[in-house]
Structures are given as structure tokens and as C-alpha cells.
Structure 1
């Protein structure tokens, strides 16, 4: 079976197991999710159902009984859960995230032991952040003092997922008094065997969205941890943490993708049934344009996340920058998407007890957790800004080894049907900053669009030529960014690295990266896409959304393009398919 068909079969099997979320009798119904949300209750029963259906296996490698071979499989599974309830998806993901440092740096015994626990539904907490230091982990003060046979851990960790419910916590602690990059290590703390009074759970925090999640903290006081419970060598904690977060910054985008899919689907349910001024709301020019814009946002976010998930396997040495671009760009984009949809849905988006639309406000609240969890927008944009000089280097695209890498890697990254090596977090690097295949492969993809246009006729040929022309405009933006980057460095000198202007350039680079992902996925996955994709109208409408992030007053579409993109959107809605480049039929009970 091809890779695309494997993901489709996986997704549709999961959909059948989960059922139509509008059906109150389905295991993960909107009604059940809303009831738990109103009560601020942890979704124990829902997680139990998912464990019995094998969802926990997506976090565990095959050698320990799991099925974590392809990142895109876990991404799809979480997305389908999140379209029903982002809270349950987040609860599931927290333990998956916490297992990654064990997979990356744990001993064979540690990996095996905690893999079994995860598969059996056990929870793990990843205790990294502290109340006073946030994302500045090198300022963390939780200390691990060496004593005979192990360490004594003292300090407090805060805003930690599963901190109260999990019996096991991975604790990031200072092992050198002076700290520094080599001054931290990670320890496995077993609450059930810790000395009495050595571990104390902090009060659970009440949340705006994902209300049922266990977000709290732990206080450690002279907590003895055997040396065998340290992950890796002493001083490797920061490296393990930074490598572990790379896949997390990709996978967490399943939450906004799932939430935005439901928000768009609910809004279409309303807009296509509601009649005003003699026609449906969805056919009024302004609401139609809004719906198409939101559809394009989802397609763009889908493309960026899909490419980043594949890079984790195809080119893991460059996943650091890719994952930061994705984590910065996708949640913020989709947060704006759902806000725009609320305008179309009108007052119904504000209701908590409407029999059909009340879940919209929950999706709107829950989505925001992805904006700041596992590194907020500023943290990830800082990572992109730090790498921007290398990404914009004028010699990079012309270097023979880079051209060869583009020819080899771009098809593996952007052809959704291409085989990938099994995922292995040990292949991640902290230093692969200067290569972005989304941008480097864009010139060739623009040429491919012209070739597609040459083989088409009439309106379709014109659409593909227009897509190629806009793709080349984005290449011109790289030249502009390179020039402005150099000028800024000269003007600001030592203040350059932390300047707001540099961050702004980094944000603009992310837009060009998104365009590269979208165009390359279109041309390189051409043979495996299903109607209404590939579509020149949808691609041009998506490129218009991105172009106007850089140049708000410059439109590259027209009313005919919007109408054709709307037809593609309405077809997916009629067919009850995921709003994605992937062909996934969703569970549905006819009403």
C-alpha cells in the first residue's frame, strides 16, 4: 500500500472508531467534550477509550511495542481527536511529549520500562519550566546536588502538564552551580518511591481553554534520585531538551488544525443553510470571500505542518529551524482563522448551550493553547531570527552540494507518497541552520508550474501560469529580505541580534517558507492528490493569502478565482472530507 493510502486508511479507521462527533452516543462526541469542559474535568474516560484503541502506541517506537514509525501518523491521529476535543488531544499529547527525552537519551531499561507504562495508559510529566524563568531554561534554579549513589533535587517546577496525575516526572535540574549549557541534566523522579515529603504537587491551575487538563507543578525538597535515574550523561540535559522539543513543535499543530477544521465545518453548516437577502449566506460576496480565506489558511497550515513532519524523517538535521517556523506560523495563522469564522457565524459562536454550534466557542478557546505551549511565538521566532543569516546566504542556493541535496531531498519531503526512513529522534541536530528546502526548491517548483500550464488549456492554463508568476514573486522577497538583513546588521551593530526589526524579517521569512511548502507539495504530490486537488484556483487563492501578509494591498486573485476555490471548499464539505490536501472521509451519521 502506498504511503498516502496508508495514512488515509489509518485516518478513516480511526474516524470509524471515534464516530460522528454530532452523535451524542459516539465515544468522543461534542456533547461529552462540552460536558467535561463545563465541569473542568480531566477526560479520563475518553483517554481510556483511546488507549484501548491503540492511540498511545503512536508515542512508542516499534522495538518497545509501539507504532511510532511515521510522524505524520501520530499527527493525523491527534488531529482527528482534536477536531472533536482539543482537551483530550492535549491530554494525550502531554505524555507523548514527556516520553521523547526517554526515547532520545534513556537507557534500554528506561525506554522499555516507561514505554510499557505509556502503552498501558500511564502518564508522564515533563517538568522543564519554572515560574520565574519561563522559556529562559538556562536561568532555571532547580538544583541536583551530587551525593553518594545519586542526587538530591530541590526546587519548583510550574505550569507542567500531568504534574499532579502522573506518577513519573522528568525533571530538568542544574548539576553545576554556575549553570550554563553543560550545567543541566534530566532525572526520572518516581513519586511513589520518593521519600515522604520530598515531592509535593502544586495546586492545579484553572484554564481559559482546555479546561480539563492537569496543568500544575511540583515542588521538590531534598528528593533523592538514584544515579541510574539520570538520562544520558551529566550535563547533557539542555541538548536532550532542545532535541526533544523539535518533533513536539510539529506535532502540537494537530490541535489547531483539528479545532480550525471543526470551526470551519460548523460555520459552513450555518452559512450554507442560512438565507439572507434572497440567497444563502455562503453565496453573499463578503461571507464567501471570508470562508475561502479561512479554507486557504487551513490548506496552508496543512501543507506547512505536513512538510515539517516529513522533514523530521527525511532531513532531521535541519528540523530545528523547520519546527520553529512551523510552531511560530501555524497556530497564529489558525487563531486568526477561527476569529474570522466567528464573524461569519455571528452571535452563535458566543453560545455555550446551542445544540449544534456551542462547541465553536470551545474550539476557539482550546486552540490558543498551541500558540504558547512548547515555546511561544516569540521563542520560536527568535530561533528563526538566529538562523536567518544562514538561510538568506546568497551563495547557498548555488552551491553544488546544496543543488544535489535539493534534487534528492525535496521529492522525499514534498511528495506525500514518497517512502521515508523510520523516525529516530537521535538523528536530530542543534546545528543544521542554513538549509531550508521549502525555499531552495521553490525555483524548480515554479518552473514545474509553468510546465503544468503548458500542458493545460484555457482557464486552467492561465491559472497555473499565474501561480508560477506569484511563486517567482516570493523568490524576489528572499532577495529583499537578504538586502534588508544586511543593511540592518550594519546599522544596528551589536543591537542587531535582539532587535524588533530582525524579528519582523524572520516573520516575513516564515511566510515565504509557507509559500514554498504549498507550491512544492502541489507539484511534487500531484499524482497522489484527490479532487478537488490539485487546483490552480485553490493554490492561487492560498498564495494570495500569503502574499498579502507581506503586501496587504496587493491582491493576486479575482472574483472568478474566489468562486472556483469556494466550489472546491463546498465539495469537500458536501463529501464530509477533511479540509486537507489528504483525502480523508470523516465519520458521519446522516441527519
Structure 2
């Protein structure tokens, strides 16, 4: 099975008779339902096998392959992507990371049998503040008694099993909570109540549910790991999903950009087509640069899960934080180009408004952007002092997207302080290698100088700036750091792939440097040339029926 196979099963999205085409997807969205034909298609494909490690009978071996298949699905319908299967990944990664052999076998049997595993972490009163979650489990004679609520959990009512996050100690700190893996039939019906479905403004078909537990017994062997390891388990396991989800969102953005390209070449304005307008071409070129930046950054993050798993505690939240902002901004830029067509729920471009609505919750779901920065901040002073501009760049293998990888090993994902930062090392090496007068060389110097400034700012951070109570200035430091990581990833990916054009790289670096502020690196003529080249590449790929991401593979629509 592959992304190409899934594309073929979905067929032509523009075919009105296609039961999983745009017309059917939009009709299900209007009814606030999951696309039933889509779920049947995914069941026949065996989508749940993508979430199960190969050692337990599934197809999960490479994180980048997992992301590629999910991207193919989300490109057609993000609601189906989240509601059918990805929510099961969010639950099951905790089992692959911390579960016993028996627990993993049980989870694999559920998923490979077509079942679902929900991730029951969220409580409305606490959001991402898991350390203060109130749903509690207390010891009983033969297990645990669970009391409290879980809310806004995808597929909770439909799931055959769930991973529960519950308080197991009244002592404050990171050891106060644990995880439990239970099946729904293990919960007495009179001790658990399904809450009404939570309506949402995006992902209309996804069933967001909740549960209320009242002294609900759960088995003594249900705990994942040891008591008090709930937060640690989540920090380790969710390193995978915090990179995979941003990589997936390239799919909906790809579709939205393709719709915009189609629209501007058909829409008549001022005696010509909209694509004739310099503003329109520039806006689309910049959005395309953003898509490529996200793809490169995510691609490196996915490979780091295999090749540098000790670093993904830092790189995963950095990817999730920055790419979510870029994707949201890109959709808004496209909406400005689409005009009224970007809001219509009927017609040739109605799919666009659904993609915008569906992408918004996906960018902050699972972990908020501010929570990502909280994970990054404690690492920065040590790295600034000991690693930045001192350690060499990471091995080229990290940036050779698509090259061979060792199997994903959840046991290698770690929680702790990093000793090195091979991505930042790319910026220093590029600044030394490239001609100082070339556009790429000027960008490299600009980013290297930003590292120097950031190093001084990190040295001045107070202890309180490394916590959730950090100052706005400290959050800004972490924000700028993520931009530098993305720039390093793009530079190294382009160096490793001769197929990519330098004009596209210049467009990416121009967009990223713009997020740092300061004087532009490119001259007006250089920027105009890069943006025209990006626009031409996008149009050529669109007309040739190829994806706009770095793979540029052919698709049916």
C-alpha cells in the first residue's frame, strides 16, 4: 500500500459521480457527518495498519511514509483524515511508546480489526495544562476507580478503546498523572456517561465527544508504564505526532493552492485573467514558498525521528509551532486572492472554504503553539552557550529526503536536555561555504548573525523565562529560533537535492527572513525574479497534474 495507491482509490475529485469526490465530501460536510463512502474506502485500504508498527502486524516503519500516506488522505478531506484514523494514532503512540507487549498486542488487534483508539486527555477547564487535569484515578482492591470528565475528544463515542490521562497523586509536579489503556467494554455502563457531541466550526463531520466517570472501575493492568509517568510518556510519544501532523497539513494547503491557481486562470478581471495581475502572481508565489518551507522543515523533522531521536524533543515542538503559523497565514493569503470565491459553499471552488475551516483547528489541535514554545525555552540557554556556531552541522543523511532510514524505534525517543544542535550548525557552515555576495550567501550571513544575537539574548534569560510564566520577550526568542531551524532545514535540503531550483530556495529564505524583521536580503529585482520563477513552477506542476510539494509526483486531481 502507498500514497499512490490511495490516490488511485479516491479517483478524480471533480467527477460528480465519484462517491468520494469533492461533491460528496462537501455534502457530508453540510450534514456535519463523516463521509461514509470514504470510511468504507479507507477500511478496504487498511488505513489503520499505517498506525501499527510492523512488529505487531502493521505497516508503521518510517515516519515519512506515514506522513505521505496521511497527506494523500488529508489532501482530499481533512475531516476524513482526522475522523477515520489519525485520532487513533494520537491514542496508540502512547501504547507503542510505554505499553507492555500484551498492551501493544491488544492495541494492534483492535486497530487491525478496524477499531478505534481515542486519546482521552483533554479537559475544557485545563486545555494543554495537563499537569492540572482533574480527572482522577484512585487505587481500589483490584484496580483503579476513575472519577471526572474528558471533553472534546475525537471519536470518543465511536472508539472501541481509549488511552486515558488521569491524576494519580495529589502531590504537585510532573509525576502527578498517569496513563491508562482501557477498552470501552471494560467500563461498566452505569459508571460512565457519554456527554453530548461538541459542535465545531471546522472539521464538521468529526465527532468530538466527552465522558463523565463516576467511581468507574478500570483494570489494575491498564496503566501504561509506571505511576506518575503520564506526562513523560506523552512527551516522548507525541514527538512523532507533533511532526507528522504538520507534514500532513501540506496536503490541504497543496489542494487549496491548486484551487487558487485554477481560479486565477479562469477568473476574468480588467480585460484579462486574474493571473495576469502582478499582485496575484506574487501572492501565489509567496504561498508556494511557504508550502515548500513547511515541507522541507517537516521532512527534516520526520527523518530526525529515526536519525537523531534525542533531538526531536526540541525539533518536534519547533516544527509544530512554526509550521502551524505559516499554514494559517498561507490560507489567509490564498483567501485574499480567491476573493468571494474563497467563501462560497457551492460552485467550482467550494472545496476551498472547507479546507480553510478544517485546517484551522488542525493547526492548534493536540498541542497549542504557546505550549510548543514552553517546551523549547528550557533548552535554549545551554545550546546557545555550548553548541551554537561551535558544533558542526548535522550529517547530510538527515537532509536527504526520501533516502533510506532505519526502522522507527519508539524506545529511542527521549526526554531530557540536549547537548548539541546540528541544524543551527548548518547556518554557520553555509555562511562559510557560500560566496558572501551571492543571494544564498547573503541569506546565510543574515541567519548566522541572527544566531549570534539570539545567543546573547538566551544568556540573559531569567530562570522564570524558562517556564510557562516566561515573559513575552522570552517567547519571542523561542519564536525566532524556530525560524532559524526552518531556514537551516531548507538550505540543507536544497543542497542535498539537485532537482530543486535555487529560485525556489531564495523565495523560501526571503519569506523566513521576513519573519525575523530587518532589512530585506534580496534586491527588488532579485525578489521579483524569484517570485516569478516560483509562480511559473507552480503553474507548470498544476497543469502537468503533479503535486506542489517537494515530491512533485503525479496525482489524479
What TM-score do you get using the length of structure 2 for normalisation? 0.94
SS class of match (1:393) = helix
Partner of 1:90: 82
Counterpart CA distance in 2 for 1:285 and 1:413 is 37
Partner of 1:358: 350
**Cα shift at 1:553:** 5.2
Shift in alpha-carbon separation, 1:564–1:23, aligned structure 2, 3 A:
same
**Counterparts of residues 497-576 of structure 1 (less than 5 Å):** 498-526=470-498, 529=499, 534-551=500-517, 554=520, 556=522, 557-576=526-545
Per-residue CA deviations over 1:25-67 (Å, capped at 9, x if unaligned) read 3353111111111000133431221121122111001111111
- 5+ residue gaps, structure 2, are none
Shift in alpha-carbon separation, 1:201–1:435, aligned structure 2, 3 A:
farther
The answer to whether the aligner puts 1:206 opposite 2:175 as a matched pair is no
**Counterparts of residues 52-201 of structure 1 (less than 5 Å):** 52-91=44-83, 92-201=85-194
Shift in alpha-carbon separation, 1:426–1:395, aligned structure 2, 3 A:
closer
The answer to whether the aligner puts 1:484 opposite 2:477 as a matched pair is no
SS class of match (1:253) = helix
**Cα shift at 1:96:** 1.3
Match of 2:414 among 406, 414, 429: 429
Match of 1:303 among 293, 296, 309: 296
**Cα shift at 1:397:** 3.9
Match of 2:244 among 239, 251, 267: 251
Range with bigger deviation, 206-215 or 12-21: 12-21
Counterpart CA distance in 2 for 1:427 and 1:506 is 25
The answer to whether the aligner puts 1:49 opposite 2:41 as a matched pair is yes
Counterpart CA distance in 2 for 1:438 and 1:576 is 34
Per-residue CA deviations over 1:169-226 (Å, capped at 9, x if unaligned) read 2111122232532222211232223223111111110010001111121111111111
Counterpart CA distance in 2 for 1:432 and 1:26 is 51
Shift in alpha-carbon separation, 1:227–1:29, aligned structure 2, 3 A:
same
Range with bigger deviation, 339-348 or 184-193: 184-193
2:384–2:459 CA contact under 8 A, matched in 1 = no
1:82–1:254 CA contact under 8 A, matched in 2 = no
Shift in alpha-carbon separation, 1:181–1:122, aligned structure 2, 3 A:
same
1:188–1:225 CA contact under 8 A, matched in 2 = no
Counterpart CA distance in 2 for 1:517 and 1:97 is 26
Partner of 1:381: 373
**Counterparts of residues 327-342 of structure 1 (less than 5 Å):** 327-342=320-335
Partner of 2:29: 37
Match of 1:276 among 269, 277, 281: 269
Counterpart CA distance in 1 for 2:179 and 2:460 is 42
1:173–1:185 CA contact under 8 A, matched in 2 = yes
Partner of 2:15: 23
Counterpart CA distance in 2 for 1:225 and 1:494 is 37
1:70–1:423 CA contact under 8 A, matched in 2 = yes
Counterpart CA distance in 2 for 1:107 and 1:424 is 15
Counterpart CA distance in 1 for 2:338 and 2:298 is 27
Shift in alpha-carbon separation, 1:522–1:100, aligned structure 2, 3 A:
same
Partner of 1:6: none
Counterpart CA distance in 2 for 1:512 and 1:155 is 42
**Cα shift at 1:435:** 3.1
Counterpart CA distance in 2 for 1:33 and 1:495 is 43
1:86–1:255 CA contact under 8 A, matched in 2 = no
Shift in alpha-carbon separation, 1:393–1:25, aligned structure 2, 3 A:
farther
What TM-score do you get using the length of structure 1 for normalisation? 0.89
SS class of match (1:438) = helix
**Cα shift at 1:566:** 1.7
Shift in alpha-carbon separation, 1:16–1:449, aligned structure 2, 3 A:
farther
Partner of 1:579: 548
Shift in alpha-carbon separation, 1:521–1:493, aligned structure 2, 3 A:
closer
2:188–2:217 CA contact under 8 A, matched in 1 = yes
Partner of 1:457: none
Shift in alpha-carbon separation, 1:434–1:26, aligned structure 2, 3 A:
farther
1:82–1:255 CA contact under 8 A, matched in 2 = yes
Counterpart CA distance in 2 for 1:506 and 1:396 is 14
Counterpart CA distance in 1 for 2:398 and 2:111 is 30
1:168–1:191 CA contact under 8 A, matched in 2 = yes
Counterpart CA distance in 2 for 1:61 and 1:47 is 22
**Cα shift at 1:477:** 0.5
Range with bigger deviation, 276-285 or 223-232: 276-285
**Cα shift at 1:301:** 0.6
2:250–2:549 CA contact under 8 A, matched in 1 = no
